[in-house]
Amino acid sequence: MSNRNSYNFFAFLLLLAACQEPALKQSDEPAVQVPAAPTIVGGEKNAHDSAVEMPVYSNERFRNILVNKYSPSSFTISGEARVFEAMLSWIVVDGKKQLLEGHQMASAGAPEWGAFKMDIHLPDSLVGKTLQLILFEASAKDGSPQFRLPIPLD
């Protein structure tokens, strides 16, 4: 064979090798892993030992807000906030009457989403009332509540 023919033959072999599908490897593992059971975010077990889906609350400044009730008067609130200087505020109201208030720091300030987790313990005198927790961002200008997120405390 001449050099030109050798070159063409070699180029043909390279092209042919590039077009070949790779051989399938046999594996003991399945191609797709399927979880054993579905996971419910914020779920808890009820009396019949089945998962109960909990509501998740959100608005422009708060997202993935979960409320876990541990007793008639104890709650843990967790989620993410995108608030000025990582400071979020909250109040507990009965109708229009403000009963409790507080502040909580998130792990990061706006424009980032910062995680937070807080516990609220109600006085025994408030147990059994129709209460709402309202998360909000206090205005940097005048402290007025902005981006209010009402959450029932049942």
pLDDT tens across 55-109, in order?
999 999 999 999 999 999 999 999 999 999 999 999 999 988 999 999 999 999 9
* Domain membership flag for residue 4: no
Residue 62 domain-assigned (yes or no): yes
pLDDT of residue 4: 58
Average pLDDT over residues 107-120: 96
Q: Is the pLDDT of residue 14 over 90?
A: no
Question: In this structure, which long-range contacts are made by residues 97-104, counting pairs with CB atoms below 8 Å and at least 24 apart in sequence?
Answer: 99/126, 99/131
Domain count, the chain: 1
The span from the CA of 82 to the CA of 132, in Å, is 21
- In a domain, residue 1? The reply is no
CA–CA separation, 10 and 17 (whole Å): 11
Residue at 29 is within a domain: no
**Which residues have CB under 8 Å from 55's CB, separation 6+?**
67
The answer as to whether 36 is a domain residue is: no
pLDDT tens-digit readout, 32-51: 333 333 233 444 444 544 45
Q: What mean pLDDT is predicted for residues 104-124?
A: 96
Average pLDDT over residues 115-134: 93
The predicted structure's pLDDT at residue 149: 97
In a domain, 110, yes or no: yes
Per the domain annotation, does 20 fall within a domain? no
Q: Give the range of the structural domain holding residue 86, as residue numbers without chain letter.
A: 44-153
In a domain, 86, yes or no: yes
**How large a percentage of the chain has pLDDT more than 70?**
66
Domain CATH number, residue 98: 2.60.40.10
